[in-house]
Amino acid sequence: MGSAQILNAQSDNVRISDKQYVSKQWDNTRGLPVNTVFKVMKDKTGYLWAATEEGLVRFDGVNFRVYNQENIPGLVSTMFYDLKRSSDGGIWAANANAIVHAKNNRIQIYDARDLVEGTWITSISEIHNGEVWAGTNNGDLLVLKNGDIHLLSDWQKVKSSAIMTIETISEAVLIGTQNGLFKFTQSNGVFEEMTDYSGLEVRAVEETPDGNLWIGTRTHGLFYQMEEDIIHINEANGLANNRINALQLTEDGRLWVGLGFGGVQMIANNEIISLRENEFGLNEVNDVYITDSGIVWLSVTGHGILQMIPADIKILRESDGLSNDITLAIYQDEHGVIWSGTASAGMNRIDDGEITHITPDYGLQNGVVLGIYGVDDFIYLGTGSGLHRYNLETDSIDRIFTTDDGLASNIVQAIYQDSHGRVWITSRSGGIHKLHNHREIERLDVPESFQSAEFINIFEDNQENIWFSTTSTGILKLDGDDNLIGYSIHHGPSSEMVLSMYEDPEGNIWAGSNEGLLVLDENGEFRLFNRRNGLQFNGIFRMIEDDYGYLWASGNFGIQRMRVKDLLALKHDETGEMKIPVRLFDTSDGMANREANGGIFPAGWKMQNGEIWFPTMEGIAMINPAALIELEKPVEVYIESLNFGENEFTAIDDITIPPGTYNLEIHYGSFDFKKPHTINYFFRISALSDEWQSTGNRNTAYLTTLSPGNYTFEVKAEQFGVESEIASINFYVDPFFYQTNWFRILILFGLFIAGYLVKAYHSKIIAGEELRKQVDFQTKELKERNRELKKVLSELEKQNQILKKVAWIQSHELRGPLSKILGLLDVVKNYEHFKEVGKGRDELIIDIDKTAVELDGIIRKINSEIEQIDPPETK
Amino acid sequence: MGPKILIVDDDASVLFLHNLMVRESGMSESINAFNNVDDALIFLSDSLVSKREHLVFLDINMPVKNGWDFLDALEGIDPGKNVFVVMVTSSVNHSDREKANTYGHVIDFLEKPLNLKSCTYIIQHKELGNLFTGRDK
Average pLDDT, chain A: 87
- Report the pLDDT value the prediction gives residue A3, as an integer from 0 to 100: 30
Q: Is the pLDDT of residue A113 over 80?
A: yes
Residue A338 and residue A327: Cα distance in Å, rounded?
13
Q: Which of A806, A834, A855, A858 to mutate to test the interface with B (most CBs of B within 10 A)?
A: A834
Tell me which amino acid residue A681 is: Y
Tell me which amino acid residue A507 is: G
Q: Does A816 touch chain B (CB under 8 A)?
A: yes
Q: Does B14 touch chain A (CB under 8 A)?
A: yes
Residue A495 and residue A659: Cα distance in Å, rounded?
60
Nearest to A823 by CA among A836, A811, A837: A837
Smallest CA–CA separation between A819 and chain B, in Å?
A: 6
Smallest CA–CA separation between A865 and chain B, in Å?
A: 20
- Report the pLDDT value the prediction gives residue A329, as an integer from 0 to 100: 95
Indicate yes or no: CB of A823 within 8 angstroms of CB of B112.
Answer: yes
Indicate yes or no: CB of B90 within 8 angstroms of CB of A819.
Answer: yes
Q: Which phi and psi (to 5°) does residue A207 adopt?
A: -105, 135
The pLDDT confidence band at residue B13, using thresholds 50, 70 and 90, is confident
- Report the pLDDT value the prediction gives residue A453, as an integer from 0 to 100: 92
Q: Give the Cβ contact number of residue A805 at 10 Å.
A: 14
DSSP string, B25-47: HTS-S-EEEESSHHHHHHHHHHS
Size of interface A-B (CB pairs under 8 A): 48
Nearest to A7 by CA among A269, A342, A323, A294: A269
Indicate yes or no: CB of A819 within 8 angstroms of CB of B20.
Answer: no
Nearest to A696 by CA among A714, A683, A713, A686: A683
Please name the residue of chain A whose CA is at the shortest distance from the CA of residue B19: A837
Smallest CA–CA separation between B113 and chain A, in Å?
A: 6
Residue A210 and residue A203: Cα distance in Å, rounded?
22
- Report the pLDDT value the prediction gives residue A633, as an integer from 0 to 100: 79
Indicate yes or no: CB of B113 within 8 angstroms of CB of A822.
Answer: yes
Q: Does B45 touch chain A (CB under 8 A)?
A: no
What is the mean pLDDT of the segment spanning A377-384? Answer: 94
Nearest to A372 by CA among A394, A392, A355, A393: A392
Residues in chain B: 137
Smallest CA–CA separation between A812 and chain B, in Å?
A: 6
pLDDT digits (tens, 9 = 90+) for A121-150: 999 999 999 999 999 999 999 999 999 999
DSSP string, A638-669: EEEEEEETTEEE-TTS--EE-TT---EEEEEE
Smallest CA–CA separation between A809 and chain B, in Å?
A: 10
Q: Does B91 touch chain A (CB under 8 A)?
A: yes
Indicate yes or no: CB of B112 within 8 angstroms of CB of A816.
Answer: yes
pLDDT digits (tens, 9 = 90+) for A544-565: 999 999 999 999 999 999 999 9
Indicate yes or no: CB of B90 within 8 angstroms of CB of A835.
Answer: no
- Report the pLDDT value the prediction gives residue A811, as an integer from 0 to 100: 64
The pLDDT confidence band at residue A34, using thresholds 50, 70 and 90, is very high
Smallest CA–CA separation between B9 and chain A, in Å?
A: 12
**Range in A27-31, A192-196, A205-209, A792-796 with the lowest mean pLDDT:** A792-796
Indicate yes or no: CB of B17 within 8 angstroms of CB of A823.
Answer: yes
Please name the residue of chain A whose CA is at the shortest distance from the CA of residue B20: A837
**pTM for the full model?**
0.66
Positive or negative, the CA dihedral A93, A99, A103, A108 is negative
Q: Does A812 touch chain B (CB under 8 A)?
A: yes
- Report the pLDDT value the prediction gives residue B132, as an integer from 0 to 100: 72
Smallest CA–CA separation between B79 and chain A, in Å?
A: 31
Smallest CA–CA separation between A811 and chain B, in Å?
A: 6
Q: Is B123 left (phi over 0), alpha (psi -120 to 50) or beta?
A: alpha
Indicate yes or no: CB of A838 within 8 angstroms of CB of B90.
Answer: no
Q: Does B13 touch chain A (CB under 8 A)?
A: yes
pLDDT digits (tens, 9 = 90+) for A249-288: 998 888 999 999 888 888 887 788 877 655 556 679 999 9
Cβ-nearest to B16 among A811, A816, A839: A839
Residue A801 and residue A824: Cα distance in Å, rounded?
34
Q: Which of A805, A818, A824, A832 to mutate to test the interface with B (most CBs of B within 10 A)?
A: A824
Residue A244 and residue A586: Cα distance in Å, rounded?
35
Q: How far is CA A418 from CA A415, A551, A606, B131, in A?
A: 10, 22, 17, 157
**SS3 category, A177:** strand
Residue A249 and residue A264: Cα distance in Å, rounded?
13
What is the mean pLDDT of the segment spanning A441-460? Answer: 94
Q: Does A835 touch chain B (CB under 8 A)?
A: yes
Query: Is the CB of residue A598 less than 8 Å from the CB of residue A499?
Result: yes
Residue A609 and residue A597: Cα distance in Å, rounded?
22
Smallest CA–CA separation between A794 and chain B, in Å?
A: 26
Query: Is the CB of residue A474 less than 8 Å from the CB of residue A487?
Result: yes
What is the mean pLDDT of the segment spanning B22-41? Answer: 89
Restricting to B residues 112-131, those with a Cβ less than 8 Å away from any Cβ of A are: 112-115
- Report the pLDDT value the prediction gives residue B63, as an integer from 0 to 100: 83
Cβ-nearest to A824 among B17, B91, B93: B17
The pLDDT confidence band at residue A10, using thresholds 50, 70 and 90, is very low
> Taking the CA atoms of chain B, what radius of gyration do you get in angstroms?
14
- Report the pLDDT value the prediction gives residue A868, as an integer from 0 to 100: 65
Q: Does B95 touch chain A (CB under 8 A)?
A: no
Q: Which of B27, B31, B90, B117 to mutate to test the interface with A (most CBs of A within 10 A)?
A: B90
Q: How far is CA A340 from CA A328, A449, A561, in A?
A: 7, 33, 23
**SS3 category, B125:** coil
Q: Cis before residue A817, ω within 30 degrees of 0?
A: no
Cα within 13 Å of Cα(A843), Cβ side: 9
Residue A410 and residue A414: Cα distance in Å, rounded?
12
**SS3 category, A47:** coil
Please name the residue of chain A whose CA is at the shortest distance from the CA of residue B112: A819
Residue A402 and residue A354: Cα distance in Å, rounded?
32
The pLDDT confidence band at residue A824, using thresholds 50, 70 and 90, is confident
**Range in A660-674, A795-809, B16-30 with the lowest mean pLDDT:** A795-809
**SS3 category, A378:** strand
Indicate yes or no: CB of A837 within 8 angstroms of CB of B20.
Answer: yes
**SS3 category, B116:** helix
pLDDT digits (tens, 9 = 90+) for A568-593: 999 999 888 899 999 999 998 989 99
Cβ-nearest to B24 among A815, A823, A835: A835
Q: Does A629 touch chain B (CB under 8 A)?
A: no
The pLDDT confidence band at residue A222, using thresholds 50, 70 and 90, is very high
Cβ-nearest to A819 among B19, B20, B112: B112
Q: Does A830 touch chain B (CB under 8 A)?
A: no
Indicate yes or no: CB of B91 within 8 angstroms of CB of A812.
Answer: yes
Residue A345 and residue A366: Cα distance in Å, rounded?
8
Smallest CA–CA separation between A845 and chain B, in Å?
A: 11
Residue A145 and residue A218: Cα distance in Å, rounded?
31
Strand order of the β-sheet with A91-95 is A80-85, A91-95, A98-103, A106-111
Contacts of A825 in chain B (CB under 8 A): none
Residue B66 and residue B58: Cα distance in Å, rounded?
9
The pLDDT confidence band at residue A615, using thresholds 50, 70 and 90, is very high
Q: Is the pLDDT of residue A2 over 50?
A: no
Q: Percent of chain A having pLDDT more than 70?
A: 92
Cβ-nearest to A851 among B13, B20, B114: B13
The pLDDT confidence band at residue A56, using thresholds 50, 70 and 90, is very high
Residue A330 and residue A466: Cα distance in Å, rounded?
20
Smallest CA–CA separation between A866 and chain B, in Å?
A: 21
